[in-house]
Structure 1
Amino acid sequence: MEVVMKVSETLKSLKETRLSGLRAPMEFFDFHRISRPAGLDEAVQRISYNTRYFSGNYGLIVAVLAVYAIIVNPLLLISLAFLTLGFVAINKFGADPMQVGDHVVTQKSLYTGLFVIGIPMLWLSSPLGTFFWLVGASSVLILGHATIMELGVESEYGTVQDAV
């Protein structure tokens, strides 16, 4: 019951902090604001403004790409599940040493077995390749969108408020 309460509290705080910054899909996909920047200075200005303005949407894009990357790499999914569930099971059930035949199984030997099996599985699942794919795909999508989206009207008023 405690776990359910912690998860619900975490989701509420996530909703209040991260998801409150999401912009409406009609604003994020506003085709009337798409244009090619005139030069590098304008592109940098657009990227700077749009990455702050659409930060919630860009975070959602990264999260969706991360879930996709894990789903399409089943060995990575199995490796992560094996290691995570192994840690949970050892912490919950393996705290006390137990006798199995002539051998005493301790928490240290359980962790050693988990690492001996889990680390090679994780290595074979290519987590670095998945990570760099995620960084590259996210960068292309986010920088591409931020570059082609014109600055909104509210960006003009931001400088007026700063001057006052």
Structure 2
Amino acid sequence: MEALTRVTDVVKRLKETRLNALRPPTEFFDFHRISRPEDVNQAVSRISYNTRYFSANYMFIIAILGVYALLTSPLLLFSLAFLTGGFAAINKFAPDPVQVGDHVITQKSLYTALFVIGIPLLWLSSPFMTFFWLVGASSCLILGHACLIEPGIESEYSTIQDAV
């Protein structure tokens, strides 16, 4: 029960901090503000400002891409569920050694069996390829958006507020 309250507290804090910082879709997808930067300095300036301004939106995009990557890789999803479910089941149902015939099955032997099956299964599901795809896809989307969207008028005043 205590773990459930911790999880709900974390979700509430996440909602209060990150989800309140989400910019509306009309602002995030404002096609009137799309333009090609004139030079590299302007592109870097736009990326610097927009990554701070739209950070919650970009985190949301990364989360959606992560869910998509898991859903399109069923073996990876199964292997992660197998490992986490195995850990949970061993911790819940086998805290003490069990005598089966002449053999004593301990928690350590169950963890060893879980690793012997789970790690090769996880390796076959190519988690590194999925991770690097997630990094590459989110980088392209985020840097492309941040580079092409002109900062709003409020960006002109951000340097003044920093100086005060």
**Counterparts of 2:109 and 2:65 in 1: how far apart (Å)?**
37
Residue 112 of structure 2 is aligned to residue 112 of structure 1: yes
**Counterparts of 2:22 and 2:123 in 1: how far apart (Å)?**
36
Partner of 2:96: 96
Corresponding residue SS for 1:151: coil
Partner of 1:57: 57
**Counterparts of 1:101 and 1:88 in 2: how far apart (Å)?**
25
> Which runs of structure 1 show a deviation greater than 3 angstroms over 4 or more consecutive aligned residues?
1-4
**Counterparts of 1:16 and 1:138 in 2: how far apart (Å)?**
24
**Counterparts of 1:43 and 1:161 in 2: how far apart (Å)?**
22
Q: Give per-residue Cα distances to partners, 1:66-98, cap 9 Å, x unaligned.
A: 000000000000000000010111111111000
**Counterparts of 2:163 and 2:81 in 1: how far apart (Å)?**
53
**Counterparts of 1:53 and 1:77 in 2: how far apart (Å)?**
33
> 1:130: how far off?
0.2
Partner of 1:4: 4
Structure 1 gap ranges (5+): none
Partner of 2:39: 39
**Counterparts of 2:114 and 2:21 in 1: how far apart (Å)?**
40
For residue 11 of structure 1, what is the amino acid of its counterpart? V
Corresponding residue SS for 2:104: strand
For residue 36 of structure 2, what is the amino acid of its counterpart? R
Partner of 2:124: 124
> 1:20: how far off?
1.7
**Counterparts of 1:158 and 1:122 in 2: how far apart (Å)?**
47
Q: Give per-residue Cα distances to partners, 1:9-36, cap 9 Å, x unaligned.
A: 2210110121121101111001111000
**Counterparts of 2:158 and 2:148 in 1: how far apart (Å)?**
20
**Counterparts of 2:117 and 2:43 in 1: how far apart (Å)?**
49
Partner of 1:133: 133
> 1:3: how far off?
4.0
**Counterparts of 1:29 and 1:131 in 2: how far apart (Å)?**
26
**Counterparts of 1:84 and 1:12 in 2: how far apart (Å)?**
24
- After TM superposition, the score normalised by the length of structure 2 is 0.96
> 1:4: how far off?
3.5
Structure 2 gap ranges (5+): none
Residue 147 of structure 2 is aligned to residue 147 of structure 1: yes
Corresponding residue SS for 1:114: helix
For residue 25 of structure 1, what is the amino acid of its counterpart? P
Corresponding residue SS for 2:10: helix
For residue 160 of structure 2, what is the amino acid of its counterpart? V
> 1:42: how far off?
0.3
Partner of 1:21: 21
Q: Give per-residue Cα distances to partners, 1:100-123, cap 9 Å, x unaligned.
A: 111000000000000000000000
Partner of 1:79: 79
Count of equivalent residues: 164
